[in-house]
Each structure stands twice: as C-alpha cells, then as structure tokens.
Structure 1
Amino acid sequence: MLDLIINGNNVQVPESVTTVARLLTHFDLDRQVVVVEINGNILEKNEHKDTDVRNGDRVELVHFVGGG
C-alpha cells in the first residue's frame, strides 16, 4: 500500500496506483472536472498519465460540481 496525504487526510491506496491518472480512476473521478496538485505543483490534465504517485506525496484533489 502507498501512504498519501489527500486533501489533508492520510489515505492508503494500492501499490498499483502508480500515476495520477490511476489515482483518479481509483477514486472514480473524471479528470475533466478535477484539478490535481501534488506537493504544491498544479498539474495540467495532459500530465496525469505521466506523473508518478509516490509514497508520502501530498495530493490535493479539487472536484468541480455544476449546479444552479
């Protein structure tokens, strides 16, 4: 298991979650409506599949919800 800090909470995810894209899939989040920050760096959506997730990373996931 990998130990991550996601939105300020200690979270364990399977070691198969090796990239940001896999992290979003693990949590069933649509990458089109999520902003991802890792260790203080905001990622572009095209970086999700190539950005590794490592033990101890600080991840912020901001999910936009429409409404009216």
Structure 2
Amino acid sequence: MTDVTDRIGNVTRQRYEQLVTQAKELIAQVARAQFALGDSILRRPQVLRRRVGQRGGAEGEVAGPGPA
C-alpha cells in the first residue's frame, strides 16, 4: 500500500509529477502559438482606416476584411 507521504492530494507523487510535466508542455505550446500569431499579425500590411461616411463606418474605425 502507498504511504500517505507518497501522495499529493488524491494522487501519487509519480502521477502528480506526470501531470505537472504535461501541464508545462501544454503551457509551452500555448505560448508558442500566441507568439506565432503575434508575429504573423506584425508582418501583415498595416490596416487602412475608413474615412467618415465611407460604408457607414465611424471616424477612425478599423477597416477589416469583408463578410465571410
């Protein structure tokens, strides 16, 4: 039987270490995805701003892609 000191909460220390390792890997994947997205946005040409009255947009409204 597993000793009480070999448990963290309701899981064994070994399982806890596995979960921590898996969580760190997932966090790293999310961080890489966020940086990749940010980098692709920075490389994108500057967005044009609409003028007042153009297609009903408000002054300074960012012109984005049309309807999908």
Q: What TM-score does the superposition give when structure 2 sets the normalisation length?
A: 0.18
Higher helix share: 2
Q: What TM-score does the superposition give when structure 1 sets the normalisation length?
A: 0.18
Higher strand share: 1
Q: Which protein, 1 or 2, shows the higher relative CO under an 8 Å CA cutoff with sep ≥ 6?
A: 1
Larger radius of gyration: 2
